[in-house]
Structure formats: C-alpha cells, structure tokens
A = this chain, B = another copy of it.
C-alpha cells in the first residue's frame, strides 16, 4: 500500500516526491490526526523556521492548538502562515540496497493561516477537544479550567482545507538486480507503541484507584 492524498490543489499541498503515496479522502486525514498525540508546529520567527512539538485537537475540519499567552511561537502564529505536521512511524523498511531503505509511516501536513480564537464558547470547545485527544475521559474526570487559567491560555485554530496525507505501508522496493542477487535480507521491522502500567502520583490522598479512562485506554495507533 503506497498512497498519498492531496486534499486541496494548492502548490505546496500537492505531493510531488512519491506522489503514489498520496491519499485523497478526508476521512484518512481525520483518522490520522485523531490517532496522534502530538503534532510538530512550524512558524516563521524573524524569517527563520521554528518547529516545536505540541498537543492539539480536531473538531470537524478545524485543528486547535493551545499554549501559554506568553509563548512566542503562539504569539507569532495568528495571521501568519503556519504548518502543522503529524507523523506516525510504523516500521523500518530494510532493503537489499542502502538507498532503498525506508520507513513505513503515515503523515499529515496542514498549511494555513492560524486564527486566534477569542469567542469563549469556541475556546472552551477547543480546550475540550485538545484535552480529549491527549487524555480521553479527563474532561469529565478532572477539574475544568477556571477563569484565571483561561485568561492565561491562547487558543489557535487552523483550517484543514489545505492538507496533504502521505502513507507508506509496504515492503522494500528493491531494484530487480538486487532481488535476484539474493545477497541481503529484506523486509519490514514493525514499530509498535503501547501504554505502560499507570504510575499513580505519590501524593494521591486518598489513594484513588486508577480510573477506567486511564486503565483501559486504547492502544495508540
């Protein structure tokens, strides 16, 4: 399976390298984003790129980001172009030749102008979807943000219109001469992620049991 998707026809979201890896349906983009825990957000500061890992959430065709109102990367982001990239690494592809070594992965690259969210209802919605993406069930279980916390939090929205999805999920793609030479092993070493055992905070008092939304959390894709 080698697929790509370009979800809008702009120049920069059109996948050129390995365009056989592009996918064109929006469900694939949503699934790929929803399965992720963090994205890498790119902004331009003083003409240079800055790439930082950050949590995010999705609601419909909007990606939400949040952060402290003091963070420069967030201060710079509204009304400027940003790029949010999500990558799932699924395995290492061992080929007969070095140059055909590769990785199996699923990635989404979203381009757009970030919008500062000021409407209080939308800000709460954004914080809820970011929270549910990071820690499903916590929005009901934990204390929700109070006014003071909300005042310190910046929320940005990024439209998913201009996005590209790229998936590699297959074995090595060796040259025929290397396949027939038969001198090297070839295949895929899958990479898996899983939750470890929950580690309760030592200051839990009373010592609450691990709640189901943590104990039974679905394995990350």
A40 located at the interface, meaning its Cβ lies under 8 Å from any Cβ of chain B in the complex: yes
A203 located at the interface, meaning its Cβ lies under 8 Å from any Cβ of chain B in the complex: yes
- A3 to B: closest C-beta gap in Å: 16
- Mask, A137-177, CB within 8 Å of B = 1, is 01101111100010001000000000000000001100000
Question: What residues of B have a CB within 8 angstroms of the CB of A59 in the complex?
Answer: none
A178 located at the interface, meaning its Cβ lies under 8 Å from any Cβ of chain B in the complex: yes
Assess whether B98 is in contact with A171, with CB atoms less than 8 Å apart.
no
Contact A153-B89, Cβ < 8 Å, known A40-B51, A182-B206, A187-B214: no
Question: What residues of B have a CB within 8 angstroms of the CB of A192 in the complex?
Answer: 193-196
Which of B38, B131, B203 touches A87 (beta carbons < 8 Å)?
A: B38
A7 located at the interface, meaning its Cβ lies under 8 Å from any Cβ of chain B in the complex: no
Total copies of this chain within the assembly: 2
A127 located at the interface, meaning its Cβ lies under 8 Å from any Cβ of chain B in the complex: yes
Assess whether A198 is in contact with B204, with CB atoms less than 8 Å apart.
no
Main SS at interface, chain A: mixed
Which residues of A, 1-37, contact B by the 8 Å Cβ criterion? 12, 16-17, 37
Q: Show 6 A/B contacts (Cβ-Cβ < 8 Å), sorted by A.
A: A37-B92, A40-B85, A143-B181, A143-B183, A179-B203, A188-B198
Residues of A with Cβ closer than 8 Å to B? 12, 16-17, 37-38, 40-53, 55, 67-68, 70-72, 81-85, 87, 89, 91-92, 94-99, 101, 103, 105, 107, 109, 111, 127, 131, 134-135, 138-139, 141-145, 149, 153, 171-172, 178-206, 208-211, 214, 217, 220
